[in-house]
A and B are shown apart, each in its own frame.
Chain A
Amino acid sequence: MSTAERTTYDGGTRHKAAPAPSAQTGTVQPRKRRGVNREGLEAGRRGTRTLLWILLAAAMVLYGFPFLYLLFTSFKTPIDTIAVPPTILPREWTLENYANALGRNGVPASFINSIQTAVISTLLSLVLAVPAAYGITRYKTLSGRIFIMAALVTRMVPPVAIGIPLASMMASMGLADTPIALSIAHTTISLPLSIWLMSSFFEAVPKDLEEAATVDGCSRLGALWRVVIPVVSGGVAVTAIFAFLASWNEFLFALLMTAIRSQTTPVVIANFQTQFGLDWGSMTALAAVYSIPVILLTLLLQRKIVAGMTLGAVKG
């Protein structure tokens, strides 16, 4: 495209760009160099965009492939699941694995247990993390800073080290094999990071907002409930999802603390691997079904999550 023919956009109206007249000769001099730069710039942008798309596609394949492979395996016949070399797509599609997995004793009950445990653990985390994080960020005391650091230290202890004593404690309190015991255990995982997350969200809320609320007659707790929490609702959603997922996918505590009545689905999924063989088809089918609720929950709260993620970005 020549410089004379180059087009510009002006308020959405496309028209030919008028070449500027030369001061010395009065003739129209094409702005060659500028045109070349803009074309180069456009080409550069296109190249960058293409590269970004390629990187994005590569990242999606990297992260998405294991899940897709799991999904495809769940539709394979028994011999197909153990093919050497492995195939990605099923040679023959079957729903038999889903029937086997969902028809297995204890599977529906384990789903209910997982939901029960994750909901209780999420609520516990939020109920404890929100006031803790608010107190730490608003009062900024030395003990608050020590507390928040100490909370993080608990994350550095391997879960197996506290799992066995925790299981014994629950048993001695008569809570053995109950969703409550498991929820409390899961809260020990999610609470520290929930406090950290909520602290960063509260930091982003200007104090003026609360002061305005107190001027209007709100107590501090009233300001927290009526003004601050609605502002950080995206952050609360992010924290809730984090806590829910931490409990939903947790395996070790569930293994140590549950038996007949509160066994969660991750343990049931693991039970497809036995000392005498691995039932890949049923295992992947149950894992695929188990991932549906969290995918739905994430999609449902997507807008809140994005709002929560960007909350800290407007701080200042």
Chain B
Amino acid sequence: MSTRKFINRLAIGGICTAVALVASGCGAGGPAATSGSAGTNTVNVLVEAGGHAELTGVAEQCKKEAGVDVNFVELPYDGMFNRLSSEFSSGNVSFDVAALDSVWLPSFKDAVQPIDELFTDEAKKDIFPALVKEANVDGHFIGMPAWTNAEIILYRKDLFEDAKNKADFKARYGYDLAAPTTWKQYQDISAFFTKDGMFGTDVKGGVETEWLAHVLQAGSPMVLDANNKVVIDNAAHKEALDFYTSLVKDAPSGAAQVDWAAAQNLFNQGKTAMTRFWAHAYRQIPKDSPVAGKVGAAPMIAGSAGIGGVPGPWYLTVPKATKNADAAKKFVKCAYDYNDKGIESNLGLAARISAFEKYQDMPGYESFKPLIETLNGKATATRPATEKWQQIVDTVLVPMLQKAVAGGDSATLLADAKKQIEDLLK
């Protein structure tokens, strides 16, 4: 058969296929993704790709126990906000439940319905206090935490237990080498391990959460106070920023560009002896990593205000526009009832204290005790509840941190940031 004939046949075949598909008007992925009809027991759940696995076990259990079938609509994190904005603003949603990042709750508070009935006294006791507070917007609970996370300290147990390192460290600093419990110790250990192509820690200029945790530990609310007044130029913010930049000398170069992925890679490659990182990373160290099986976990370190971390929860919400609110709420209840199912997923997280406690003494879950301690920390708090938060982060906080880790003057940078944030909030 000549090429011409082949191409012609291919084109004719393509046209016939297309016509057939147009006629059928269907896609290959399964049932239509429109919000279910009232009274049906099938719900569409919109979830970020990383969180899908977290809810798979819940969905299976929910089908068994409550008879609710679940279709997941999986989207990448970077596009999810746009998609949610688009559907909520049109009033025509393709999902019955949406898993929302905590920073999006204030933006979509008017598009989701209250689920107060699910927040029983018993439930409120079993959810970390900061999350209970964050889920309540304008007097109503609008999101059920599905899983949460917080930064803890991950360190190289093998290096910390090495006899020579222990002796050298004691000789140099006068106390035993162990997982740090004060920021002074963290600085000393970072300096100690910065040698022979290795670094004591990382400094992340590309993300803001870690610096904000230091702010909480120093005793100030993050960026905005309870009255939405910008307090980014107060003493606690400066202290936190100065401490943050003091670690640059013991961190890999290019701190301004280091974000979560880069820091995780550096640690998993054995280039850093310690990292402050989200707790889920403990269970995600690749098996062929040089540090696999050699990592220890410790709670976030306390500052003058106590242990403080910034939780990273995701909330299950029910849109006002769904036609299937009953089944949607049944699924949200399932997600609370069978919350521990998420722990067995790749991500390995939950939201209920009892779920974490159930696993905390099992091998492989050593990060849970430090995580619980951090989430229960006296200074732990969620991000300010403002619709502009993401904008503040992207346009003010991260650029400011990048300048700070590159050697900028902290007081000047914080003063500039205050002005920019005030302009954004006007």
Contacts and interface: CB of A to CB of B under 8 A. Distances in A.
Nearest to A259: B33
Contacts of A303: 3
Interface stretch (B90-98, B121-129, B243-251, B332-340): B90-98
A275 B87 CA distance: 22
A278 B261 contact: yes
Contacts of B347: 276
A79 B49 contact: no
Interface in A148-192: 160, 163-164, 167-168, 171-172, 176-180
A200 interface: no
A270 B79 contact: yes
Nearest to B266: A84
A77 B278 CA distance: 23
Interface in B1-55: 3, 7, 10, 14-15, 17-18, 21-22, 25-34, 44, 46, 48-51
Interface stretch (B67-75, B105-113, B224-232, B399-407): B67-75
A90 interface: no
12 contacts: A84-B265, A109-B28, A113-B28, A123-B14, A171-B90, A171-B94, A176-B92, A255-B76, A256-B83, A258-B33, A259-B33, A267-B79
Interface of A: 77-79, 82-84, 106, 108-110, 112-113, 116, 119-120, 123, 160, 163-164, 167-168, 171-172, 176-180, 252, 255-256, 258-263, 267, 270-278, 300-301, 303-304
B49 A274 contact: yes
A103 B72 CA distance: 17
A200 to B, nearest CB: 22
Given A109-B27, A177-B27, A273 B77 contact: yes
Contacts of A82: 265, 268-269, 286
B101 interface: yes
B17 to A, nearest CB: 7
Contacts of A109: 27-30
Interface string B284-318: 10111110000000000000000000000000000
Contacts of B72: 260
B71 A260 contact: yes
Given A260-B44, A263-B29, 19 more contacts: A77-B286, A79-B288, A108-B28, A109-B28, A120-B18, A164-B82, A176-B92, A177-B27, A177-B34, A178-B27, A178-B32, A256-B82, A259-B94, A261-B28, A271-B75, A273-B76, A275-B50, A276-B347, A300-B7
A290 B90 CA distance: 33
A274 B18 contact: no
B259 to A, nearest CB: 11
Contacts of B77: 273-275
B294 to A, nearest CB: 14
A273 B261 CA distance: 10
B278 A261 contact: no
B268 A168 contact: no
A300 B11 CA distance: 12
Interface of B: 3, 7, 10, 14-15, 17-18, 21-22, 25-34, 44, 46, 48-51, 71-79, 82-83, 85-87, 89-90, 92, 94-95, 101, 261, 264-266, 268-269, 271, 278, 280-281, 284, 286-290, 347
A261 B268 contact: no
Contacts of A178: 25-27, 32
A304 B7 CA distance: 10
Given A77-B288, A261-B33, A83 B269 contact: yes
Nearest to B94: A259
A interface secondary structure, majority: helix
B32 A277 contact: no
A280 to B, nearest CB: 10
Contacts of A258: 27, 33
Contacts of A252: 79
A290 to B, nearest CB: 15
B265 A168 contact: no
Given A164-B89, A167-B90, A259-B33, A123 B288 contact: no
A-B CB proximity, top 10 nearest: A274-B50, A259-B33, A262-B27, A261-B27, A271-B49, A112-B28, A168-B90, A261-B29, A270-B76, A260-B33
Contacts of A163: 82, 86
Contact of A261 (B30, B79, B290): B30
Nearest to B71: A260
Contact of B86 (A78, A168, A276): A168
